[in-house]
Amino acid sequence: MADRVIFISTLILAAVYFYATAQIPMLEIGDPLGPKAFPRLLGIGLLITAGLLLLEMLRAKKVAAHDAAPKTPLAWRHYLVVGAAAIWTGVYFMVFEWLGYAIATTFYLLAMTMYFHKGHPKTNVLTSALFSFISYFMFTQLLGVTLARGLLPF
């Protein structure tokens, strides 16, 4: 199933890439090849890859028909957990500049550790706040790295 999706996505991507390459305006200066030649080669490479993917799929089908393994039901709950973690990371980035690195990171770490390191609320609160503020001061004050200040006055 996954391989079929990869195969079709590769074909769609090749089509989109060819279309986007055709949209690059041509100015006949500089080198004779222009900015489109190399991308066209890549598009062709992608089509060849799609062909190889198909070949592998057909071969896998033969092998699978040969020794059909019993199918196990696919667990899916972990995808929800990973999806939620990704969304929470997205929320963290959205408020990053507004709240600033130190505050946003404290909240981010707190929620994450509360879920993934259950049963240790004190450790989680302390680690989240200490890591965020110490790393903020270490990088901005000692190493001169710029991080978002946000609501903090310093």
Partner 1 sequence: METLTHILNGFTVCLQPINLWYTFVGVFLGTIIGILPGIGPSAGIALLIPVTFGMDPTSALIMMAGIYYGTKYGGSTTAILIRTPGEAASVMTSIDGYEMAKKGRAGAALAVSAIGSFIAGTIGVVALTLFAIPLSSMALKFGPAEYFTLMLFAMTAVASLSGKSPAKGLLSTILGLMIATIGIDLQSGQPRYTAGIPEFQDGIGFIVVVVGLFAVAEVFRGMENLYYGTAPQMIRISGKLWLTREEWKRSVGPIWRGGIIGFVIGVLPGAGGTIASILSYTTEKRLSKHPETFGQGAIEGVAGPEAANNSDTAGALVPLLTLGVPGGGATAVMLGAFIMYGIQPGPMLFQNRPDLVWGLIDSMYIGNIMLLILNLPLIGLFVRLLYIPSGILYPIIVAISVIGTYAISGSMLDLYLILSFGVVGYIFDKVDIPVAPLVLSLVLGGIMEQSFRQAMTISGGDPVVFVSSGITVTLVVLSVISISMPFILPRLKALKSSSDDAD
3-state secondary structure of 27: coil
Taking CB atoms within 8 Å and a gap of at least 24, the contacts of 84-92 are 85/112, 88/112
User: Where do the H-state alpha helices sit in the chain?
Assistant: 2-22, 37-66, 77-99, 101-116, 121-137
Q: Is 18 in the site for partner 1 (CB under 8 A)?
A: no
The Cα–Cα gap between 55 and 38 comes to 26
Least Cα distance to 50 among 58, 23, 35, 62 occurs for 58
- Number of residues counted as binding partner 1 (CB under 8 A): 66
Q: Is 95 in the site for partner 1 (CB under 8 A)?
A: no
Q: Is 98 in the site for partner 1 (CB under 8 A)?
A: no
- Locate 60 and state its tokens: 């896998």
To partner 1, the closest distance from the beta carbon of 134 in angstroms equals: 11
Judged by CB under 8 A, the residue of 8, 22, 52, 151 near partner 1 is 52
Which positions touch partner 1 (CB under 8 A)?
2-3, 5-6, 10, 17, 20, 24-27, 29-35, 37-39, 41-42, 45-46, 48-49, 52-53, 55-56, 59, 77-78, 81-82, 85-86, 89-90, 93, 96-97, 101, 105, 108-109, 112-113, 115-118, 120, 123-124, 127, 131-132, 135, 139, 143, 145-148
